């Protein structure tokens, strides 16, 4: 897909924007239907694939397939595959790469004690695979281009990951060339109740920034320009990262700039609406 993405990146650059891409491996949550088509596992007869893989043979949910535990050789291949993806992203012109290590995807599955019960090196050091992936990517990703990692800062389950684990992970990632931690949460196990409210994950970003000495991004129920500005200006995070709010309103950044009195470049197609 690199050639097609390169066209998108060129267009974004022509409009004065930077382009970022997220690289992920879904692990035991792979081979599923599109969310708007109901989600859930898809078998080979429907275009899915088997086996899915993970740290152990524990499935994500009762209706999901049993994953194949990854061998040491296969884990080395995972790291190199992430690097190959980063190399394609580099050649396509992307300015930022983010490695997804949250929301119950493969790297998160290795980080959490709830899903990584291996007894080998990757079980004794649950951060090992993430460091190996980061190191492999950093070798090919230009030093001047930011490398981000998205983490679930807590599993919201007793005995799972918590913010203290995340701070230690952030310290290690800083030493391995990661520039910013995107601080999200949850997604490891189905049916976990999370009390969401405006800015409910901002405290994670603030603690990572304060205790790990690593730049952080705040995400989750951040919808108002003044709210976003307060998070950054108050030192709780270095950036605010938007997801669902941009799905609802792709013009949010321009509206936020207008509301906060900040002059930013407008795409040429929209300049007549700037005044």
Cβ atoms within 10 Å, residue 113: 13
Q: Sign of the CA dihedral 183, 57, 133, 146? A: negative
Active site residues: 105
Determine the 3-state secondary structure of 135 from DSSP.
helix
In angstroms, the CA 241 to CA 220 distance is: 8
Cβ atoms within 10 Å, residue 51: 14
Cβ atoms 206, 236 nearer than 8 A: yes
Q: How far is CA 268 from CA 8, 9, 11, 252, in A?
A: 16, 16, 12, 17
């Amino acid at each position: 897909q690199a050639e097609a993405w390169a066209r998108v990146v060129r267009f974004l650059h022509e409009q004065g924007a930077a382009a970022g891409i997220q690289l992920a491996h879904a692990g035991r949550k792979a081979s599923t239907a599109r969310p708007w088509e109901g989600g859930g596992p898809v078998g080979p007869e429907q275009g899915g694939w088997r086996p899915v893989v993970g740290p152990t043979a524990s499935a994500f949910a009762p209706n999901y397939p049993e994953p194949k535990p990854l061998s040491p050789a296969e884990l080395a291949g995972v790291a190199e595959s992430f690097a190959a993806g980063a190399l394609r992203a580099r050649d396509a012109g992307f300015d930022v790469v983010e490695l997804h290590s949250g929301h119950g995807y493969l790297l998160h599955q290795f980080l959490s004690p709830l899903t990584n019960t291996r007894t080998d090196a990757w079980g004794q050091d649950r951060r090992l695979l993430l460091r190996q992936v980061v190191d492999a990517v950093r070798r090919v990703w230009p030093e001047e281009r930011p490398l981000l990692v998205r983490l679930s800062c807590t599993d919201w389950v007793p005995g799972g990951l918590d913010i203290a684990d995340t701070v230690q992970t952030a310290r290690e990632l800083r030493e391995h060339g990661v520039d910013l931690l995107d601080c999200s949460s949850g997604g490891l196990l189905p049916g976990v109740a999370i009390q969401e409210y405006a800015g409910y994950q901002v405290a994670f970003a603030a603690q990572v920034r304060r205790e790990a000495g690593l730049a952080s991004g705040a995400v989750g129920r951040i919808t108002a320009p003044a709210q976003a500005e307060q998070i950054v200006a108050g030192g709780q995070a270095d950036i605010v990262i938007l997801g669902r709010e941009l799905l609802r309103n792709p013009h949010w950044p321009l509206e936020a700039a207008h509301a906060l009195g900040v002059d930013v470049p407008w795409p040429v197609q929209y300049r007549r609406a700037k005044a």
